[in-house]
Structures are given as C-alpha cells and as structure tokens.
Amino acid sequence: MGKSNGQCHFCKNEIESLMHLFYRCHKIKHVLDELKHIFNSIFEKNIVLVEENLIIGVYEGEITEDLLLMNLVICILKWVIWKTRNYIK
Ligand SMILES: [Zn+2]
C-alpha cells in the first residue's frame, strides 16, 4: 500500500517480507529458539520448527491435542510479533 519503507522494523537491515518477519529476522530467531526449547521440554519431542511451520503450522500426519496447542501458541506468537512490529513502526 506504499505506507512502509520496506525495511524490517526489528533489525532495520533487511527487506521486510513475511518469511523475514516471522522466521528469518535475527531479532526473532532467538524467540523461535526459545519456543522450540519450550515445545521440546513440554511435549518431550524433538520439534524442528521450519519456515513452513511458522506460516501454515505444525502437522505430523494426524491431528493431536499437542499439535493443536503448538499451532495455537505459534498463532499467538505471530500475532504478538505483528503487534510489536506495528508498535515499533
Ligand atoms: Zn529483521
């Protein structure tokens, strides 16, 4: 809509894109690493969060309560990232 300069509002070094904002930005990476650590300790699985998981969610062939909870937390995290980005802007 032409209302942004295109730069990431977190790191101010890269072009903001969906993947950069929610996954690739180094300011977000440590949050994702912490989330992965929490998931692994709560669900006692070796969860590997890849880019697709942050966009479309985690799916392992069947829908379980654990996966629903993980996907809910991921959605909330993305909402918080988006609201924080807008606040910084
Ligand atoms: Zn960035």
Residue numbers in the chain where pLDDT is lower than 70: 1-2
Range of the domain at 32: 18-88
CA distance 32 to 26: 10
Distance 22 CA to ligand 1 centre (A): 9
- For residue 12, the CA-to-ligand 1 centroid distance in Å is 6
Cα 56–Cα 37–Cα 18 angle in degrees, nearest 5? 30
Q: How far is the CA of 23 from the centre of ligand 1 (A)?
A: 9
Q: Tell me what the pLDDT averaged over the chain comes to.
A: 88
CA 85 to centroid of ligand 1, rounded, Å: 10
| Structural domain contains residue 10 | no
Domain count, the chain: 1
pTM of the model: 0.83
What span, in angstroms and rounded, lies between the C-alpha atoms of 3 and 26? Answer: 24
Looking at residue 81, its pLDDT comes to: 94
In a domain, 70, yes or no: yes
pLDDT at 1: 61
Residue 27 domain-assigned? yes
